[in-house]
Structure 1
């Protein structure tokens, strides 16, 4: 891992490690997070990269969930040549600052991560700046900073996620088809939701009432509804089950009795292929389920949770903050800028991501940049399927001195003309 600090435009990026280091690269030590939903060391891309970047080997018995590259105090990167120096303090000097207009800016406005997702993450959303300031002031132990957290995930393997609410008309069908789901919402509230959607009332308000009723439902009622539903699904033939039924079963196996299991009937299930991307703006519900990805976000660690987690749940805040837009989210494919270079441009000012795909002997010219977070050299391509994470693949990974984020070579640029820090 390295951070490039360059006063002049970066001309080329090549496989050759020496050339990269000679271009004013400052190697950093990234921070690994061992959350329970991660993938165990032997199979985790996070662990594989961490073990080649860290001062200590990865622990094969631990789950490796996230690798953080950035300046956030919850997981700061450090300077490899002097681990006592954080990347934040390194950048917080006059020679490493840069300007936006007449304003001097220090540090990075984004946080780059690699995720190895072995189990479902919580049903969650990220606040706006205004809400983040309020939450941080009220509960700084749970909400670590005052920043918003728009984020974008680019799949490195087949990747599954729940993202946004399904079309309300599809939810209505499952309310009628799955009586246990209706009972968990509450029969009166479920009937009102169906009536509102069929009557072309305010869909967002109707969805908010139904979702709020479900998330605030008595725990014993939720547990009973889930138990009955899982037992009934277990007696059905496979061809009788919908994809939503199968997702609920998968979630129940991980979090039995958790109200978040019913998100299977409320939220869009996405199956992303490698290089597919999704952008998640403020106040949009989501939960990653399985796979590996590179994730870039504003420099924040604010997460509002309400299900599929043993962590702190802030149900009332989540219910009130969501936009309640329904329908499938956009899957981004990236824009081909030139040969070997693809750009992912999310609708926010904090970051963009470039995918550089280089073969031996090739190079590419990049636009001027002040800071570049990168990994090198170019390694193996992403696995074609989850099943492909076998001994042969691990052997190929082991031969790579420093593993890149699959085919992402320089990929997080803060260009003054494109990524505009808002502070």
Structure 2
């Protein structure tokens, strides 16, 4: 197996303290947003054998296993991250497989460079993702029922929001959500900025359930995404709870530290809360206008002690081991490649001290590996594999 040297991404929304506290390093004063573990070409993990993407490309069947190569091609199908949000991320959605392939081909035919800021589809893959909280974690996920969103907006008592309140009482519900989001994102920007400023002041005054929106507006003053955010469910995760995000579901992470796993894709369409490109017509084509309660996942623990976060994604499977001192070693040998990440305590691999908080290893397909607590306290280890 290979110990991984991983890259920290310093995005502006990152926390300045959460990752250093987990890793046991000194804060730099700069945001540290994500620690990437995997073979994504944007920041592949280092190994003693070289960058992980090059190691896999040199012998994909040996590293990934024949079943993974047959299903997903000669590349690691998932990307694992530690995500530390100190400020709201952009409000966004991801396409499904068909939409990604069609959009990528369309932009390629138009000659849009892959690295162009206005490019929506940088690859042909979808991007289902799962976020498991390590600390209390806040986010937005999926549409509220329109009548609930209408009540939230009405209580702000902002005159320019009243047309949206009326629209949200219309039927059918999916058409009402579509019409309001379209109106919010296409309205005159100066008028919208004034509305957001007034709504943010009201949210600050009301507090309680309005506090998250006042905070969002503080980070993104005048952004229409602040109003769009009020159409979505506000979710609070406790440590160990997780949220799965499928294609077309609008979402944003607001704050906290978590383990995130996703299909290996860069395809994002943004609704707001960002200075980056927002393609409103394409976004509205991708969004699923379905009101639903967010499904908070709690791991299922079979007798072997591996707590699995069940999702419909094929590209990844995330599970967790909470290892008590003196517990029997667990055999994790698998037919596919895996990444093991320690988030608390210390763990032994194959009888040798190997992992402390924030440390990870890549285990090639078929390589024998046993996992145990190092004996100095309960260890928590996440296991990332493909769902083969």
TM range (shorter): 0.7 to 0.9
Shift of 1:315: 2.2
Shift of 1:64: 0.6
Give the whole-Å Cα distance in 2 for the aligned partners of 1:176 and 1:63: 36
Report whether the alignment pairs 1:151 with 2:117.
no
Residues 249 and 192 (structure 1), Cα distance of their counterparts in 2 relative to 1, 3 Å cut:
closer
Give the whole-Å Cα distance in 2 for the aligned partners of 1:372 and 1:101: 11
Give the whole-Å Cα distance in 1 for the aligned partners of 2:332 and 2:305: 11
Give the whole-Å Cα distance in 2 for the aligned partners of 1:203 and 1:121: 27
Shift of 1:333: 0.5
User: 1:355, 1:407 within 8 Å by CA — same for their partners in 2?
Assistant: no
Report whether the alignment pairs 1:113 with 2:113.
no
Report whether the alignment pairs 1:27 with 2:8.
no
Residues 262 and 26 (structure 1), Cα distance of their counterparts in 2 relative to 1, 3 Å cut:
same
Larger RCO of the pair (alpha carbons < 8 Å, separation 6+): 1
Give the whole-Å Cα distance in 2 for the aligned partners of 1:210 and 1:136: 28
User: 1:125, 1:284 within 8 Å by CA — same for their partners in 2?
Assistant: yes
Report whether the alignment pairs 1:366 with 2:340.
no
- Output one character per residue of 1:79-125: Cα deviation in whole Å (capped at 9) or x when no partner: 2x25xx32122112153342229938422111111101100000001
- Output one character per residue of 1:319-350: Cα deviation in whole Å (capped at 9) or x when no partner: 22111111311100010112532111111211
Report whether the alignment pairs 1:253 with 2:231.
no
Q: Secondary structure of the residue that 1:263 maps to in structure 2?
A: helix
Q: Give 2:70's match in structure 1, choosing from 77, 87, 103.
A: 103
Give the whole-Å Cα distance in 2 for the aligned partners of 1:233 and 1:272: 22
Q: Give 2:166's match in structure 1, choosing from 191, 202, 206.
A: 191
User: 2:343, 2:380 within 8 Å by CA — same for their partners in 1?
Assistant: no
User: 1:145, 1:302 within 8 Å by CA — same for their partners in 2?
Assistant: yes
Shift of 1:233: 4.7
Report whether the alignment pairs 1:49 with 2:23.
yes
Cα root mean square deviation, aligned: 2.7
Shift of 1:70: 1.2
- Output one character per residue of 1:152-200: Cα deviation in whole Å (capped at 9) or x when no partner: 00000000001111112201223433343x625x72x653432x2xxxx
Give the whole-Å Cα distance in 2 for the aligned partners of 1:102 and 1:260: 40
Report whether the alignment pairs 1:218 with 2:188.
yes
Report whether the alignment pairs 1:128 with 2:96.
yes
Shift of 1:47: 7.3
User: 1:136, 1:145 within 8 Å by CA — same for their partners in 2?
Assistant: yes
Partner of 1:89: 54
Q: Give 2:173's match in structure 1, choosing from 203, 217, 220.
A: 203
Partner of 2:349: none
Partner of 2:366: none
Q: Secondary structure of the residue that 2:44 maps to in structure 1?
A: coil
Residues 130 and 108 (structure 1), Cα distance of their counterparts in 2 relative to 1, 3 Å cut:
same
Residues 90 and 224 (structure 1), Cα distance of their counterparts in 2 relative to 1, 3 Å cut:
same
Shift of 1:206: 1.6
TM-score (norm 1): 0.76
Partner of 1:379: 345
Q: Secondary structure of the residue that 2:4 maps to in structure 1?
A: strand
Which runs of no fewer than 5 residues in structure 2 stay unpaired? 347-354, 361-377
Q: Give 1:346's match in structure 2, choosing from 311, 322, 329.
A: 311
Give the whole-Å Cα distance in 2 for the aligned partners of 1:315 and 1:39: 29
TM-score (norm 2): 0.82
Q: Secondary structure of the residue that 1:403 maps to in structure 2?
A: coil
